[in-house]
Amino acid sequence: MSRRILAALAGQPNCGKSTVFNMLTGARQHVANFPGVTVEKKSGHFKLGGRTCELVDLPGAYSISSYSPEERVTRDFLLFDHPRVVVNVIDASNLRRHLCLTVELLELESNVVVHCNMMDVATRRGQVLDADILSQRLGVPVSTGIGRTGQGREQLAAVMTTAMDQPAKEEAFRVDYGPLEPHIKAVEDVLAEGGDLGAPRRWLAVRLLENDEGARQFVAEVFFDPVRLSRLVAEHQEAFRESAGETVAAFAALARRRLARSLAQAATVKSAGPEKTRTDAIDDLVCHKYLGPLVLIGVLFILYQVSIVWGYKLTNYTWPLLAGLKTFVAGFLPPAGMLEDPMLRSLGLWFMDSVNSLLNYIPIFFLLFFCVAFLEDTGYMPRMAFILDRLFRSYGLHGQSTLPMVLAGVYLGGCCVPGVMACKAIPDDKSRLATILIIPLMNCLAKVPLYILLVGAFFPGDASAAMFFISTVTLFMALPIARLLSSTLLSSLDSAPFIMEMPPYHLPTLRNLFTRAIEKVALFVQKIITVVAAVAIIIFVLLQFPGISREHKAAYQARLDASRSQLDAAVAGSRFQAVLAGDGLLGFLRYEEAYKAARAGVEDAAAAKAIDTRFREENPDYFAILKPRADAVAKAALAGVKAFAQSRDSISIEMRRERLETSFLGILGRALEPVTQFAGFNWRVNAGLLSAFAAKESAVATMGAIYKLEAGGTDNQSLEASMRQGEADFTPLHALALMLFMALYPPCMATSMMIKVQTGQAKWMVLAILYPMVLGIIVASAVFTGGRLLGLDGNTAMWSFYGLAVAATIVAGLIPHRTPVTLPVTAVAGEEAAQNA
Amino acid sequence: MDEDATKDRTHLGAIAPGERCTVARVGCDGCLGQRLGDLGLVPGEEVMVVRNAPLRDPIEIKVSGFLVSLRRCEASLVEVVAR
Ligand SMILES: Nc1nc2c(ncn2[C@@H]2O[C@H](COP(=O)(O)OP(=O)(O)OP(=O)(O)O)[C@@H](O)[C@H]2O)c(=O)[nH]1
């Protein structure tokens, strides 16, 4: 038998399923999504009794109803993929709750084996459990172990091997539903007319009576007369409600939970004492009224420091590697031309630059994901949500929105991609989307260069105050916007109740943390890089085409030819005439560049000598020009070449400028001027902002390129200076409007893609791109035109705006929410009391 | 139902931190009811309110030895008998 055996791991959240998964499969695993949903599907394989077993890690689910995507995914997998064995991982220290899922799995008539994990925790708490009794009562094999240390792996593997070849049991596990039984029987009898439906009949009958959406859809597809069936089910539901006084759903769930409770009681030899657990002690500090928030700030600060600050430092070491990669690729591209590079070369280099600018973030991401995995595995996340939920709820967000916002850069410097990825943890659709949509407004690292440029150029006196302004004002813009979005566009989405387990604290294993961090980085690379590469090409086209007209090109060429003939005249008759003739000149220029590159950074005299020797051997004639020493003829040749190179550079800069001005991007920038003039943006700024869409760093690069050109191409002038010079009529008010627009800038390509991945729908991505643009232009225009009309200077406008944003935040927080109508129990109790009186 | 029992009946949101109570009824169906039950809020179960969050909402409770947090509006749907 060489066919693969399919097995699944099922369990409630925090039972240590991922740890058991890693324990069984080792490092060989594959992460994807379940079809159609954003729930992660992890699978791996390992050898089991001489055969290959493919193990799928199902998402953590409390039960098998149809209320959450995790539950639906679990149910569908068990129903449709028919795993040979289902390993139900349970937390040995909390049998009562975890056995609820076991009962449901058994009702589904899966081939279950139960694995009691966290035995060490149970022992520490003084609990003793009897696996044999549990096994007897459940009628399935039970193994025990400690996932953290890998103890119990053999036992589990052995149990799985035996279970695999066991024939299906004749007598399936039954929950005794007491007064509901006759109704179940009636529905079962009708279902029996449909023959084999592909799901256990009794399970279907119970679920139908419970009004379970998934079961209803299932029979609608496989049963020949769903109409009659649903009428019958409705009748029985009604009959039961009348006789029992409660709904089938409530009754059946309670029956299962009671059974789980009695099973747990039977299997528990000794239960935990009432003494305080370690978790209680930690919580006393971490959730404390005053200390809790302080701890939270501390944790967030460390997270920021480690991942963003240290990660950024780490990029200093990885950047040379990426630069090396680019050089390596450049080696395969056609060589540089005299005036213009061949298209393939400029495209290749552009492409590498774009991809590198993203790959550059990998160290940051790795550290970030590592820290986040640490916080998740220890169990701190729910505490964070606990502390901040009240505050965030006022804005339609969720306690769990904290982490994504911190990652994306609540203060200065973050990255929206991991921010959006972290939104996954938010259990509530509405607040998750609200969070995802405001994430791009945070201050990601890539926005910072533009801030620094503008602050340096236009607010030199109070740079730190201006920096403080822009780094904090974004939060005061994001919160009211979140409030607005959640009460308008998002108001129709489901908002899930906030009921959250606060799992016991665990010390995570390094191995888990590494696997998780690597998994996420890999996901990033897979999903993002391809798209970014595609967009890089589009932007390239926008920047390069339609290109310079043929006449203009000819004119540039003529100018170049003129300086060439000067050079020719200078070397005429000398021994270098032949050397520099034809392609010889271009050859020399490349040679010179290669030499400079080789000598760059080499300080050791012997090494320098070696390079010189190598270059001399390669081409003695070129070398003679390059290092003329006392040779007057060579000196003249070098001077001639230098003069030529200078005029070539200025011609090519002019060409680049013309190409940019006449490019689609330049045309677009001009076309937008009528709108953007109210915000004080001219076409150059527009072009810079447009190119920022691929990656925000490009804004500064593009503008830098434009200003340098306008300033006459002197390289040694600082960008601040050339910007001030290039935009002589720019005032701090212009800069303020531009900074605010940047703060509200649409998400970059990578983030947009991540938004699509996380929301599963392109429309949210489009919204996330469009609304900041509209909002940005409105805010920037209001500040610029408003400030102008009121005669405000940059500083006054800045702090007035700050005041407004803070006020908007306070007001938005105070407006009460329209909460969904749920009757509080007290009212019902009151009615009952009134009836009784 | 006698007078005393009715008087003691209240909802989980009204229990002060540090006090214990027993779940009498979960007054909601569907997703919310399911979740509450999943996390152990089942009739007959003993619950202790551990603490309020720093901003008073949500609250943290202990059910069968484990900690759960929920917002006050959800807690108010759980009918309990105070000890
Ligand atoms: N003490 C102890 N800790 C464990 C054991 N197994 C897992 N853990 C820890 O429990 C925490 C949660 O484990 P995970 O494997 O991530 O749990 P999970 O069930 O996959 O959680 P979800 O991904 O939320 O469904 C981690 O910090 C683990 O290191 C165990 O047997 N003993």
pLDDT computed for residue A435 by the predictor: 94
| Strongest mean pLDDT among A443-452, A622-631, A802-811, B36-45 | A802-811
A55's tokens? 């193990």
Q: What percent of chain A has pLDDT over 90?
A: 20
The answer to the question of whether A39 is labelled as a binding residue is yes
For the CA of A22, the nearest atom of ligand 1: 15
Question: pLDDT at residue A444 above 60?
Answer: yes
| Å from CA of A776 to ligand 1 middle | 44
Residue A603 φ then ψ, to 5°: -105, -25
- For residues A836 and B1, the answer to whether their CB atoms sit within 8 Å is yes
B15-64 pLDDT, tens digit each: 999 899 999 888 777 778 888 888 888 888 889 999 998 888 899 999 87
Residues A139 and A184 reside in one and the same domain: no
- Residue (of A727, A795, A681, A732) closest to A458 by Cα position: A732
Residue A371 lies in a domain: no
Average of pLDDT values for A733-761? 87
A198 touches A79 (CB < 8 A) = yes
One domain for residues A11 and A159: yes
Residue B75, number of CB atoms within 10 A of its CB: 26
**Cβ of A17 below 6 Å from ligand 1:** yes
From A131, A165, A199, the end of a domain falls on A165
Which of A300-304, A482-486, A529-533 shows the highest mean pLDDT? A482-486
Please indicate, yes or no, whether residues A11 and A67 belong to a single structural domain of this protein.
yes
| A515 close to ligand 1 (CB < 6 Angstrom) | no
Q: Do B9 and A94 touch (CB under 8 A)?
A: no
Helix boundaries (H) for A439-549? 448-458, 463-487, 510-544
Distance A68 CA to ligand 1 centre (A): 21
Task: Calculate how close chain A gets to B46, using CA atoms only, in Å.
Answer: 13
What is the mean predicted confidence (pLDDT) over A187-198?
A: 86
Does any CB of chain B come closer than 8 Å to the CB of residue A791? no
User: Residue A106 — left, alpha, or beta (φ > 0 → left; ψ -120 to 50 → alpha)?
Assistant: alpha
Identify the band that residue A106 occupies on the pLDDT scale cut at 50, 70 and 90: very high
A447 marked ligand binding residue: no
Q: A825, A832, A835, A836: best mutation site toward chain B, by most B Cβ within 10 Å?
A: A825
Among A213, A242, A270, give the residue marking a domain's end. Answer: A270
Angle at A181 between CA A179 and CA A185, to 5 degrees: 150
Mean pLDDT over A707-720 rounds to 55
Is the pLDDT at A824 greater than 50, yes or no?
A: no
Distance in Å, alpha carbon of B83 to nearest chain A alpha carbon:
17
Q: Are A33 and A9 within one domain? A: yes
Instruction: Tell me whether A836 touches chain B (CB under 8 Å).
Output: yes
Q: How far is the alpha carbon of A494 from chain B, nearest alpha carbon, in Å?
A: 11
Q: Which residues lie below 8 Å from residue A616, measured CB to CB, with a gap of 6+?
A: A623
pLDDT of residue A714: 46
How many other β-carbons are positioned within 10 Å of the β-carbon of residue A242? 8
The stretch A467-482 carries a mean pLDDT of 90
CA A821 to ligand 1 centroid distance, Å: 37
What 3-state DSSP class applies to A745? coil
B18 shares contact with chain A (CB less than 8 Å) = no
Count CB-CB contacts under 10 A for residue A31.
17
Of the candidates A382, A825, A836, the beta carbon closest to that of B77 is on A825
Q: Do the domain assignments include residue A246?
A: yes
Domains defined along chain B, listed by start: 3-82 (2.30.30.90)
Work out the minimum CA distance from B35 to partner chain A, whole angstroms.
Answer: 7
Residue predicted with more confidence, A190 or A409? A190
Q: What is the CATH number of the domain that holds A21?
A: 3.40.50.300
Q: Is A1 helix (H, G, I), strand (E, B) or coil?
A: coil
Mean pLDDT over A805-824 rounds to 73
A117 and A200 in a single domain? The answer is no
Task: Say whether A165 counts as a known binding-site residue.
Answer: no
Going by pLDDT thresholds of 50, 70 and 90, the confidence category of residue A819 is low
Q: Is residue A590 part of a domain?
A: yes
Q: Which pLDDT score is estimated for A637?
A: 75
Q: What is the pLDDT of residue A754?
A: 86
Chain B: nearest CA to A808, how far in angstroms?
A: 21
Please, are residues A434 and A466 in contact by the beta-carbon 8 Å criterion?
A: no
Residue A810 falls inside a structural domain: no
Please count the structural domains in chain A.
3
- Which domain, by its residues, includes A156? 4-165
Q: What is the DSSP string of A399-416?
A: GGGHHHHHHH-SSS---H
| β-bridge mates for residue A45, sequence order | A54
What pLDDT is recorded for position B1? 41
> What pLDDT sits at residue B3?
43
On whether any CB of chain B is under 8 Å from the CB of A496, the answer is yes
Cα A304 to middle of ligand 1, angstroms: 25
Is residue A219 in a domain?
yes
Answer yes or no: do A122 and A191 share one domain: no
Backbone angles phi, psi at A365, to 5 degrees: -60, -45
Q: Residue A551 and residue A548: Cα distance in Å, rounded?
A: 8
Q: Are strands A112-117 and B78-82 parallel, antiparallel or unpaired?
A: unpaired
Identity of the residue numbered A407: L
Amino acid identity for residue B25 in this structure: R
Is residue A539 in a domain?
no
Highest mean pLDDT among A21-35, A178-192, A505-519, A647-661: A178-192
A208 and A83 inside one domain: no
Please report which helix (H) or strand (E) contains residue A16, including its range.
Answer: none
Give yes or no for A835 touching B (CB within 8 A): no
Amino acid identity for residue A777 in this structure: I
Average pLDDT of chain A to the nearest whole number: 82
pLDDT in tens, A587-609: 777 788 778 777 777 778 888 88
Q: Residue by residue, what is the 3-state secondary structure of A266-327?
A: HHEEECCCCCCCHHHHHHHHHCCCCHHHHHHHHHHHHHHHHHHHHHHHHHHHHHHHHHHHHH
Residues A158 and A202 in one domain: no
A328 CA to centre of ligand 1 in angstroms: 44
- Note whether A97 and A8 are same-domain residues: yes
Full-model pTM:
0.77
Average pLDDT over residues A527-538: 72
Res. A713 pLDDT band, cuts 50 70 90: very low
What's the rounded Cα separation, in Å, for the pair B23 and B42?
A: 6
State residue A818's pLDDT score: 59
Residue A19: pLDDT over 80:
yes
Average pLDDT over residues A269-289: 83
Whether A97 sits inside 8 A of B40 (CB atoms) is yes
Same domain, A202 and A151: no
Could A499 and B69 be called an inter-chain contact, meaning their C-beta atoms sit closer than 8 Å?
Answer: yes
Best of A23, A381, A506, A512 for a ligand 1 pocket test (most atoms within 8 Å of beta carbon)? A506
Contact call for A249 and B42, based on CB within 8 A: no
3-state helix, strand, coil in chain A (%, to 5): 70, 5, 25
Distances in whole angstroms, Cα of residue A679 to Cα of each of A72, A610, A669, A704: 49, 58, 14, 20
Distances, alpha carbon A411 to alpha carbons A298, A338, A748, A753, A816, in Å? 14, 46, 19, 24, 27
Amino acid (1-letter code) at residue B27? G
User: What is the arithmetic mean of pLDDT over A419-438?
Assistant: 88
A614 belongs to a structural domain: yes
**Highest-confidence segment of A150-164, A334-348, A811-825:** A150-164
Phi, psi for residue B67 in degrees, rounded to 5? -95, 135
* C-alpha span between A418 and A405 (Å, rounded): 10
Which range has the top average pLDDT, A334-338, A805-809, A828-832, B25-29? Answer: A805-809
- How far is Cα A589 from Cα A595, in angstroms, rounded to an integer? 10
pLDDT higher for A529 or A834?
Answer: A529
A117 is in an annotated binding site: yes
Ligand 1 centroid vs A803 CA: distance in angstroms?
46
Please indicate whether residue A118, judged by its CB atom, sits closer than 6 Å to ligand 1: yes
A 386-415 residues with CB < 8 A to B: 386-387, 389-391, 393, 399
Does A38 carry a binding-site annotation?
yes
- Return the structure tokens found at A503: 């799992």
Asked if B58's CB is within 8 angstroms of A389's CB, the reply is: yes
Q: Does the pLDDT of residue A677 top 60, yes or no?
A: yes
A280 CB neighbours in chain B (<8 A) are 67
Distance A515 CA to ligand 1 centre (A): 14
- Output the domain CATH number for residue A196: 1.10.287
Q: pLDDT tens across A177-192, in order?
A: 989 999 999 999 988 8
Here the ipTM equals: 0.90
Residue A204 shares a structural domain with residue A151: no
The per-residue pLDDT for A480 is 93
B82: distance to nearest CA of chain A, Å?
A: 14
Whole-number Å distance between alpha carbons of A505 and A542: 53
Question: If pLDDT is split at 50, 70 and 90, which confidence band does A835 have?
Answer: very low
Q: Quick one: CA dihedral A668, A671, A672, A673, positive or negative?
A: positive
Q: Give yes or no for residue A432 having a pLDDT over 50.
A: yes
Segment A809-824 mean pLDDT: 68
Would A96 be classed as within a structural domain? yes
B contact residues 34-73, partner A, Cβ 8 Å cutoff? 34-40, 42-43, 50-58, 60, 64-71, 73
Q: What is the pLDDT of residue A506?
A: 86
DSSP string, A673-713: HHHHGGGT--HHHHHHHHHTTT-THHHHHHHHHHHHHHTTS
Q: Among the atoms of ligand 1, which is closest to the Cα of residue A11?
A: 19
Query: Predicted confidence band at A155 (pLDDT cuts at 50, 70, 90)?
Result: very high
Nearest CA to ligand 1 atom 14: A16
CA gap A448, A824 in Å, rounded = 49
End-to-end C-alpha distance for chain B, whole angstroms: 17
Final residue belonging to a domain, choices A165, A186, A209: A165
A707 pLDDT tier (thresholds 50, 70, 90): low
Using alpha carbons, select from A138, A137, A155 the residue that is nearest to residue A146.
Answer: A155
Task: Please indicate, yes or no, whether residues A132 and A211 belong to a single structural domain of this protein.
Answer: no
Q: Cβ contacts of residue A524 below 8 Å, gap of 6+? A: A362, A365, A417, A421
From the alpha carbon of A19, which atom of ligand 1 is closest?
15
- Say if the Cβ atoms of B64 and A386 lie within 8 Å: no
Asked if the Cβ–Cβ distance from A253 to B32 is below 8 Å, we say: no
Reply yes or no on whether the pLDDT at A822 is more than 50: no
